[in-house]
Amino acid sequence: MTKTILKAHELRVEFGGVTAVDKVTIEAHENELIGLIGPNGAGKTTLFNLLTGVYKPTSGDVFIDNHDQLSPINQLSPYKRAQLGIARTFQNIRLFKSRTVIENVLIAMTAANKSYPIQAILRTPKFYQNEAQNRQKAMSLLEIFGMTQVADELANTLPYGQQRRLEIVRALATTPKILFLDEPAAGMNPQETAELTDLIKQIQVQFKMTIVLIEHDMKLVMAVSERLYVLEYGKVLATGTPKDIQNNPAVIKAYLGEEG
Amino acid sequence: MDKAHIKYTLSWATLALMIVILIVVMTMFDIIGPYGLTTIVLIGINLIAAIGLNLIIGMSGQFSLGHAGFMAIGAYATALIVTAVPTIFGFIMSLFVGAMLSGIVALIVGIPTLRLRGDYLAIATLGVSEIIRILIMNFKFTHGPAGIFAIPSFVNWPLVFGMAVLTIIVVVNLVRSPTGRAIIAVRDNEIAAESLGINTTKYKVIAFVLGAVLAALAGGLRASFIQSVSPQDFTFMQSITILIIVVLGGIGSISGTVVTAIALGILDVILQNFGSLRMVIYAVVLIVVMLFRPQGLFGRSEFSLKKMLFDSGGNHDKDHSKGA
Amino acid sequence: MIIQQLINGMILGSVYALLALGYTMVYGIIKLINFAHGDIYMLGAYFGYFFLRVLHLNFFIALILSMAICAVLGMLIEFIAYRPLRHSPRIAVLISALGVSFFLENGMSYLFGSDKRSFPQAIETTQYHFGSLQISNIQIIIITTAIVLMILLNIIVKKTKMGRAMRAVSADEEAAILMGINVNRTISFTFAIGSALAAAGGMLIGLYYNNIDPLMGMTPGIKAFVAAVLGGIGIIPGAALGGWLIGILETMTQAVGLSNYKDAIVYAILIVILLLKPTGILGKNKREKV
Ligand SMILES: Nc1ncnc2c1ncn2[C@@H]1O[C@H](COP(=O)(O)OP(=O)(O)OP(=O)(O)O)[C@@H](O)[C@H]1O
Ligand SMILES: [Mg+2]
């Protein structure tokens, strides 16, 4: 039995009478790649927002693995959850626009940073050492995504696909246990999508990370996911391996059927 | 510290030294008289306050209209302490006490109010500033509406110049560090910053407190230089005076703040010749500058000696090769 | 006694409310804290002074004329100093507004001197007594004028084509353009209405306090802005509510012998309310969609 990294129990949230997420119970295991699919407005992004703490649930609980124990994080703000190992990207890209690519990555390393403002003000050798180390680490992450060439470009001058990649690099820089990707391939062409698929697989293996992926591109999710959750009208409609899901009559009727 | 940094630091130090020599030479030849030196001191004081406000508004993106209140705390701390202990030691201590007090007030005020957004924060900080002023106006030990006179003076232009340079170094070094990057990240996208484990309140408060400390420092220098303080010196208009320096220079640009503080100081001297039309002309200048440079003189960019002196090729590769 | 203070507070609050309405409408439509708004109130009082002292007009005719002139001035200011900055950073417009404010204050001081002038007593004061309560005809005029103007404003905003356009532009400028609304004209109209209300406030205060000066708009300007924020900026009934609340708060603190602290108390209450309700009393908490 593999270790559970994150667990949500009967999560529910309402927005002015509309139940966007309705009693969702999910679990993510160590080093697992989970796909989260469902039609537009099913509540996928909202579920991410609940798990990462951006929204407070109306009811239900979220737990995360903390030193081999599942501890509740309902009361924790997003930044504390991030420090416990939750990282994410955003469906509507949220980069630090006025900063360069590498600065975007460096910013993500702030919480783990052991540098003190006083060292920075006095520009002690320790400060330069620290900065050099951080830059090196940021560059090596950018390297994985083939973005070292654009390290000093302003983030908002990058093409769309690269901005999405940068969001992933930035999330990785927080050295998370679990990574939530919200439609990382949106707006990419087939070739970029194929490259991204490989990269996501590569990160999972290389960093031994748990990844939860929202994606509308069925080929992509079915290819990479080990397990899937299907959401519809805020409820979990089905869960299982890609094969199970593809053969699940309820899913075919409610979701895949509608598509084609 | 590598060679490039030493070169870079030295060139800034040379620039500062050249300005000092220029001022000394100009006083020797009577190009700058006592009135000119007064102007230089006042420019320096405004500069320190404005850099503090730029840290709050420009770097951390929090719209504060309460700078005058923090200047008042510094000014009254200096006025009271220096009157009681009229020595240079008393003066230094008074600056320190004023800065501490101001920082503590900013901390207490900042933690709850920095959750407020945009103009709501502006009005809350304006309120705090006015409350500070009204308290000062009603306390006995601050001598009420009349204020405090005959404060011993320990301020001269080299001191203010040194303090201004120090302020710039501290703020620029802080901004170009993990702390500064986090502050700017919170400004650029608060939700993203939080998702990366950045305690957004903490960084907003850091900027706010440091800004308040600099305001107090400016207030203390001013009290001892002008040798009097009164609650009327720290109304909403004082906050606006500093705000104008920051906005005209370009929000988030330290170089812009420096240049504008100097330019407005000189403009003020020129306008003295226009008597009662002075403020009317100033108003027109303000509107015209905004209409033609809505981003401020410098936008968000900085004047860079590095680019001018060392980056002949004009590419950015230098920075990241340093990391490798 | 407490009722008497309440009445006095309502009178002062009516004037704050008239000013706050202009702040809130302008803010609602172009997100600008119009720092020059308090100075329009001052100009309104000065035009009133001119019509009453020099032309010896009837008070209400003078009021309407002053409102009309200030409406035009408001549009002019918007056209010259704000419109070119419509797509610039918000703070640039704010500084431009401060520039306009300095210009009006100092220009008036330059032309007419910075001393206080006594406002003509166009209407003779009569006091009415109801038991221990006392109220003057001037106070009745102030409060009725303010209420009539607010009702008129409400009709304009709710029932006329221009009013609907104002609401549409406030809600969503892009959509308003698509609907064929002339945004420039709508914004001009908003400034005209707001400035007319401010002018009325200025004249009423002149009549009440009997004196005017070029800086008379500064403090009430800030107070009215505070009132607008307190009620929920951008929300028209919020401005009226905020104005009255602040007026009443001020007179109440004075009544309990804390007049030296009256502004401090108003600000402290404002801060507490904002902390409890970050978008003002009637404001809606908009949650950012992530
Ligand atoms: N902050 C909010 N306020 C009100 N309603 C919201 C909010 N966030 C989400 N919703 C609603 O919740 C429902 C689910 O939205 P959500 O964005 O989670 O869907 P999704 O599955 O991510 O869809 P898509 O595939 O289009 O991204 C929608 O009806 C949406 O309008
Ligand atoms: Mg979504």
ipTM exceeding 0.85, yes/no? yes
B201: nearest CA partner in chain A: A79
CB < 8 Å to A132, chain B: 322-323
d(CA C285, nearest CA chain A) in Å: 12
CB B215 within 8 A of CB B49: yes
Does the distance separating the beta carbons of C260 and B137 come in below 8 Å? yes
Q: Which of C4, C50, C30 is closest to C189 using CA atoms?
A: C30
Per-residue pLDDT, averaged over A193-205, amounts to: 92
Q: What's the domain count of chain B? A: 1
Domain extents in chain A: 31-62+77-259
Ligand 1: residue whose CA is nearest its atom 31: A41
Domain membership of residue B89 (yes or no) is yes
pLDDT tens-place string over residues C106-160? 999 999 999 999 999 888 889 999 888 889 999 999 999 999 999 999 999 999 9
pLDDT for A254 equals 72
Question: Probe ligand 1: pick from A18, A22, A46, A47, max atoms within 8 Å of CB?
Answer: A46
CB contacts, 8 Å: C289 with chain B: none
User: What is the per-residue pLDDT across B124-171, written as a single tens digit (0 to 9) for each?
Assistant: 999 999 999 999 999 999 999 999 999 999 999 999 999 999 999 999
The verdict on residue B168 lying in a domain is yes
CA B147 to CA A46: how far, in whole Å?
57
Q: Is the CB of A128 inside a 6 Å radius of any atom of ligand 1?
A: no
The closest alpha carbon to B245, from B42, B36, B95, B73, belongs to B42
The answer to whether the pTM exceeds 0.95 is no
Q: Write out chain C residues lying below 8 Å of A90, CB-based.
A: 290
Task: Please tell me if residue B5 touches chain A, with a CB cutoff of 8 Å.
Answer: yes
The boundaries of the domain holding residue B104 are 11-30+38-310
Judge whether B93 is closer than 8 Å to chain C, CB to CB: no
- The reply to whether B318 falls in a domain is no
B323 within a domain of the structure (yes/no): no
Mean of pLDDT values over B60-87? 96
Residue C194 token pair: 């707001």
Asked, for residue B60, whether it belongs to a domain, the answer is: yes
> What mean pLDDT comes out for the span B54-71?
96
Q: What is the DSSP letter of B189?
A: -
Rounded to the nearest whole angstrom, what is the distance from the C-alpha of residue A41 to the centroid of ligand 2? 7
Residues C280, B120: C-beta atoms closer than 8 Å: yes
Q: What are phi and psi of C191, to 5 degrees?
A: -65, -40
For residue B142, what is the domain's CATH number? 1.10.3470
Mean pLDDT of chain C: 93
The Å distance, Cα A41 to ligand 1 centre, comes to 5
Would you call C167 exposed, middle or buried from its count of C-beta atoms within 10 A (0-12, 13-18, 19+)? middle
In a domain, B259, yes or no: yes
**CB of A46 sitting under 6 A from ligand 1:** yes
State the ligand closest to the CA atom of A16.
1
B1 at A interface, C-beta within 8 A: yes
Q: What is the pLDDT of residues C259-290, one digit of tens each?
A: 899 999 989 998 999 999 888 899 887 767 78
Compute the distance between CA of residue B209 and CA of residue B215 in angstroms, rounded to an integer.
10
**Phi, psi at B272, each rounded to 5°:** -55, -30
DSSP secondary structure, chain C, as one string = -HHHHHHHHHHHHHHHHHHHHHHHHHHHHH----TTHHHHHHHHHHHHHIIIIIS---HHHHHHHHHHHHHHHHHHHIIIIIGGGTTS-HHHHHHHHHHHHHHHHHHHHHHH-SS-EEPP--S---EEEETTEEEEHHHHHHHHHHHHHHHHHHHHHHHSHHHHHHHHHHH-HHHHHHTT--HHHHHHHHHHHHHHHHHHHHHHHHHHHSEE-TTTTHHHHHHHHHHHHHH-TT-HHHHHHHHHHHHHHHHHHHHTT-GGGHHHHHHHHHHHHHHHSTT-SS---PPPP-
A142 CA distance to ligand 2 centroid (A)? Answer: 26
Residue B319 lies in a domain: no
| Coil vs helix vs strand at A7 | strand
Tell me which fold the domain A31-62+77-259 belongs to: Rossmann fold (3.40.50)
Contacts of C243 (CB under 8 A, 6+ apart): C13, C14, C15, C16, C17, C18, C19, C20, C21, C224, C227, C231
Examine the pLDDT at B16 and tell me if it is beyond 90: no
Rounded Cα distance between C38 and C41, Å, is: 5
